[in-house]
Amino acid sequence: MSFADLKRKSQDFSSLTKELEKANSSSNGDDRFWKPTVDSAGNGFSVIRFLPAPDGEDSHFVKLYSHAFQGPGGWYIENSLTTNGGKDPVGEVNRKLWNSGSDPDKETARKQKRKLSYTANIYVVSDKANPENEGKVFLYKFGKKIFDKIIAAASPEFEDETPVNPFDLWEGANFKLKITNVAGYWNYDKSEFAAPTALLSDDSALEAVWHKAQSLQAFMSADNFKSYEELEERLNLVLGVTKTPAVSRAQYNRPTLDEEIIDEDAYAPPAKRESVKVAVTSGGVEEEDDALSYFARLAEED
């Protein structure tokens, strides 16, 4: 492009506008992931389909624990080694806080407790806010509220309800994601599965969709987790145990407010609940990570 062309285009904001819109539409910087969109009132509606385990893998979804909290030395935002059954330095610190018998210590432990999220492949059936996403396969990160609805579909509570495997391409069901604004946070309570139906009518088309699913086990690889020693060093810095300069929000990639609201499903303190088990094609899944039971187990380990 010549300098004359540059000057001529200097008054044309269309290309810049498109570039800014594209950048703003992906808050986490990873276009493999799909995120719903809400209107100015904080409400949103989309239809997605959970896809079965990718070719060569056994799990329809992966379950990840992480920590996200602020201390005197900055933000601690790390995947937890407890995801794969290991010991994590934050868990060790929280255990001591919980066992101290001090209410302020217990409150600190609650603020530093691990957060739960799930990741699965989805097919976007309807996304009117972003129609270019329709008919495409993405990764989708969600929390316990949505996972509970998957459990309810696969293991219904009443005898007159027929179990549905939400991950089945032929006899599964589309998921109507309904988001409402409750006290400034995204709420998913009205979301529900539609009646069972094949995702697409043609098997060759279904196979093409399935082959677009991305690896889930990659999220569980050692590359996504720092060593205990690295995490401990970072934790000491954040908690002010060692005197080193604080890390700013920008330097340490603190999530934006929008990301926090989007992930409120995963990050909000869960209501009191009992352990639930559900059998789907990926095997049994057990969820029992409410705050009280988690810290009770920490106390027992002392």
Report the pLDDT value the prediction gives residue 264, as an integer from 0 to 100.
34
- What are the angstrom distances between the C-alpha of 53 and each of 50, 104, 157, 168, 228? 10, 43, 25, 10, 30
Share of the chain above pLDDT 90, in %: 69
Confidence band for 16, pLDDT divided at 50, 70 and 90: low
- Domain ranges within the chain, ordered by starting residue: 28-300
pLDDT digits (tens, 9 = 90+) for 257-291: 333 333 334 333 333 333 333 333 333 333 334 44
Confidence band for 72, pLDDT divided at 50, 70 and 90: very high
pLDDT digits (tens, 9 = 90+) for 165-184: 999 999 999 999 999 999 98
Confidence band for 6, pLDDT divided at 50, 70 and 90: low
Contact 94, 298 (CB under 8 A): yes
Q: Quickly list H helices, the chain.
A: 3-9, 14-25, 89-99, 103-111, 144-154, 203-210, 228-239, 257-262, 264-267, 291-300
pLDDT digits (tens, 9 = 90+) for 87-100: 999 999 999 999 99
Confidence band for 10, pLDDT divided at 50, 70 and 90: low
Residue 77 has pLDDT above 50, yes or no: yes
- Alpha carbons 259 and 271: distance in angstroms, whole number: 22
Q: Collapsing DSSP states into helix, strand and coil, what is residue 138? A: strand
Confidence band for 241, pLDDT divided at 50, 70 and 90: confident
Residue 119 has pLDDT above 90, yes or no: yes
Residue with tokens 């509220």, as numbered in its chain: 145
Residue 187 has pLDDT above 70, yes or no: yes
Higher pLDDT, 137 or 101: 137
In CATH, the architecture of 28-300 is: Alpha-Beta Complex (3.90)
Report the pLDDT value the prediction gives residue 277, as an integer from 0 to 100.
34
Report the pLDDT value the prediction gives residue 15, as an integer from 0 to 100.
55
pLDDT, mean over the chain: 80
Average pLDDT on 84-113 reads 94
Residue 133 has pLDDT above 60, yes or no: yes
Report the pLDDT value the prediction gives residue 163, as an integer from 0 to 100.
95
